[in-house]
Amino acid sequence: MDSPTTFALTEHSPALWRVTFDNPPVNLVDAAMTRELGALLTRAEESDTLAVIVFDSADPDFYLAHFDLSDENESKRALAHPEEIHPWTRVLTRLMTLPVVTIASVRGRARGAGSEFLLATDIRFASREKAVIGQFEIGMSAVPGGGPATLLPGLVGRGRTFEILFGGLDYDGALAERYGYMNRAFPDAELDAFVDDFASRVAQFDLHTIRDIKHFVNLATKRPDSELKDQMDAFWAATNRPAQQHVAKHLFEAGLQQRSDLERDLPQWVTRFQCRPGADGE
C-alpha cells in the first residue's frame, strides 16, 4: 500500500490502527480517497493481527463532507456501465464485512457519503456538540447512493429513516444518539479519551472471537449488497436529470465543496435552488 494522500494511517500496535481523514478543503469523498480506502481494506483483510480500526478526522469542522460532485466523467462512466459496482459501493460493502472491528469517532460534518461511511462502520461514537450528521441528497433531487435506505432502518426504524431521508436535515450528536444513528454521544472534551480506551480494550481480545462475533452479527443484520448497488445506480441516474443539474449548478456557484457558509449549513442552502414543478428551470 502506497502512502495515502487523503488520510493518515497510524499503527498504534499490530492489533490497533487509526485512520485520520485529511483531504482539504472539506474532506470530500473523492476518487483518490475511494481508491486509497480500497487499498487500506485490502491490507486490513490480509492482516493476521489486526483487531480494530478507528476512523477519525484531522478537521474538527468536517469529518467527511460528502461525495465529490464535481467530476462529470464519474457520472458518465457510471451511466455508461450500469453492470459495474461503483467503487464507493464496493468500499462500503467491504467495510461492513471486514473481519475487524471498525469504530467511527465523529467530530464535524458527515453528510451524504460521509454519513454512509459511518453507517457502514460497526460502532459510531460522536461529539455531542460538534458532530453533524445527515443525508441532504433529496435537496439535490437525488436518492442517497451509498445505501442509507438499507442501512438506517435497522438502526433508527422505518419512520425515522423516512424523516432523515425526506427531510434532508442535520442531526447533532445528541439527537443522533437518541435516534440510534450514533451509538453514543459524549461531551466533546471526553470523546477522544473514551474512544481510545474502548478501542484499546477491544484490541486486547482474541482475534478469532472478534471475527466470529462480527460474522454472526452480520448474518443476522446485513442486507444483500445488491440493495446498495441499486441505490447507487439510482443516484447516478438522478445526476442526468434537469432537476438535479439545476440545483447542483447553483450550489457550485454559491460555494459547494469549498470551505464556505454553504458547506457549513448545506441543508438550508439546498432549499434555495429547488426547481419547482411548472418552473422553467435552467
CB 125 within 8 Å of CB 182:
yes
Q: Count the Cβ atoms, other than its own, within 10 Å of residue 22.
A: 14
pLDDT band at 277 (very low <50, low <70, confident <90, very high): low
Per-residue pLDDT at 281: 43
CA 3 to chain centre: 22
Using CA atoms, how far apart are residues 76 and 95, in angstroms rounded to an integer?
A: 26
Average pLDDT, rounded, for the chain: 95
Residue percentage of the chain with pLDDT more than 90: 91
> What is the tens place of the pLDDT at every residue in 10-48?
999 999 999 999 999 999 999 999 999 999 999 999 999
For residue 16, the cross-strand partners are 13, 52
> What is the tens place of the pLDDT at every residue in 121-152?
999 999 999 999 999 999 999 999 999 999 99
Per-residue pLDDT at 282: 43
Is residue 88 predicted with pLDDT exceeding 80?
A: yes
Of 198, 234, 44, 30, which is closest to residue 114 (Cα–Cα)? 30
Is residue 279 predicted with pLDDT exceeding 70?
A: no
Per-residue pLDDT at 1: 77
Per-residue pLDDT at 80: 78
The pTM (predicted TM-score) of the whole model is 0.95
Which amino acid does the sequence have at 23?
N
103-112: average pLDDT: 98
192-213: average pLDDT: 98
Start-end of H helices in the chain: 31-46, 72-80, 87-97, 113-120, 148-151, 153-156, 158-167, 173-179, 188-203, 207-221, 225-238, 242-254, 261-264, 266-270
3-class DSSP state for residue 137? helix
CB neighbours of 196 closer than 8 A, spacing ≥ 6?
none
Q: Please name each of the domains of the chain with its CATH number.
A: 7-203 (3.90.226.10)
Enter the C-alpha cell of residue 144: 442517497
Enter the C-alpha cell of residue 120: 457502514
